[in-house]
Amino acid sequence: MQQLWHFIDGKRVEGTSGRSADVYNPATGEVQAQVPLANAAELDKAVAGAVAAQPEWAATNPQRRARVLMEFIRLLHRDMDKLAEALSREHGKTIPDAKGDVIRGLEVAEFCLGAPHLLKGEYTDGAGPGIDMYSMRQPVGIAAGITPFNFPAMIPMWKFCPAIAAGNAFILKPSERDPSVPLMLAELMQEAGLPDGILQVVNGDKEAVDAILDHEAISAVGFVGSTPIAAYIYERGCANGKRVQCFGGAKNHMIIMPDADMEQAADALVGAGFGAAGERCMAISVAVPVGDETADRLIEKLAPKVEALKIGPYTSDDADFGPLVTSEAKRRVEGLVQSGVDAGAKLVVDGRGFSMQGYEDGFFHGACLFDHVTPDMDIYTQEIFGPVLSTVRAQSYEEALKLAMDHEYGNGTAIFTRDGDAARDFAARVNVGMVGINVPIPVPLAYHTFGGWKKSVFGDLNQHGPDAFRFYTKTKTVTARWPSGIKDGAEFVIPTMK
């Protein structure tokens, strides 16, 4: 069995806490590796290395820092197949989906090549008599990221690429469920020329998370995961004086108007609802057709597409999606599906009891499609994070809009329509952070920012794009006046522009 490690000061380091966690192959249900779980002392060692290395890295000009990322991008392309295979083996998603995971992280690295421009300050010549004024963006120092299992390549890169490009050192605490790819990314950054100590990977569970939140040398913390844990991390981190951004749960609605192309809408729902077995924070989990006629036409299109989905291990060439990440995740999905049946929703496609020959112990769950779901049901209120699509029928556009607006989560939403007025009104009024118009998964590209509203986010700055550089830097403003412009004598009146 493979024994994994931490990555501290540029090298692999064995765990010393005496604690470890099993890493499964979700397709077979077998334990394939063990990952060490760090304690506070191990985190201290990683932070000490980061503190020692960061000043020299911050003093390295932004263009040279960006060159490290440029080489890192080349290495990602070189090792794409290796990264995707390792990711799929631990997470369960298909190889093409795993490559997409890497590529969406790589795109943020590409955006960060613009660090010299993004870190430019502002300058005002002659702000007052003989006075010049300018601002500069400086790194916060040591930043940390606590990242989830569902995107073990993309989200770590969303965190550490802008932080490092901005001149910080970074402590990454990836999910203990699929830690191999984050470790591989750290080694690729090292190969790309990153100095020792600038990117540390510390594997762990809540003990390591609490140590990060309490460590006085860590200035900024980013998190992606469930809303209850996001709230906990935000509160504890802020109480310790840290800058914190936390991204939580989601329940993404897709509104289908009567004039929508129903074939296109059904295809979009199948891909967005069941890709990666629904283990995406941007998955569409609620379809909202407007009018019963629209709903009937949608279900007629959807049901055969859902029934035809191919489920298999990541080694399968034609699988649409794979297993859930753990047996606990599978049991949770099974419980929520049963709760929908018990509450009276119509299970149009029943994926329960799915089993694959040769993979009977894998964490597979078949695709489920519900109709006549109501907003009081658990399958509507809770984030299922599995291959389950719920259909909530609305009798009007306003009712459909209200469903999305009243839900406690506000991560992503979409509308499918040919009506420009409806689309424009929806985008303007809906209180959700990311909106798609005939786009089911509206994840912004790397040069915009990613983030939800309501209980999907804690903090006021988003991930990647310009917001990332704002989060990982502090603004310093300098007001300068040279002796030739200074009058003799003390001044006792507050300076003004008069």
Q: For residue 136, report the phi and psi dihedrals to the nearest 5 degrees.
A: -145, 150
d(CA 270, CA 59): 49
DSSP collapsed to 3 states, the chain: CEECCEEECCEEECCCCCCEEEEEECCCCEEEEEEECCCHHHHHHHHHHHHHHHHHHHHCCHHHHHHHHHHHHHHHHHCHHHHHHHHHHHHCCCHHHHHHHHHHHHHHHHHHHHHHHHCCCCEEEEEECCEEEEEEEEECCEEEEECCCCCCCHHHHHHHHHHHHCCCEEEEECCCCCCHHHHHHHHHHHHCCCCCCCEEECCCCHHHHHHHHHCCCCCEEEEECCHHHHHHHHHHHHHCCCEEEEECCCCEEEEECCCCCHHHHHHHHHHHHHHHHHCCCCCEEEEEEECHHHHHHHHHHHHHHHHCCCECCCCCCCCCECCCCCHHHHHHHHHHHHHHHHHCCEEEECCCCCCCCCCCCCCCCCCEEEECCCCCCHHHHCCCCCCEEEECCECCHHHHHHHHHHCCEECEEEEECCCHHHHHHHHHHCCCCEEEECCCCCCCCCCCCECCEECCEECCCCECCHHHHHHCEEEEEEEEECHHHCCCCCCCCCCCCC
> Which position has the token pair 């470790």?
183
Nearest to 222 by CA among 161, 181, 277, 289: 161
Catalytic residue among 112, 161, 246, 281: 281
Distance, CA of 419 to CA of 416 (rounded, Å): 9
> CB neighbours (10 Å) of residue 82?
11
Q: Radius of gyration of the chain from Cα atoms?
A: 25
Is 246 tagged catalytic?
no
* Catalytic residue IDs: 281
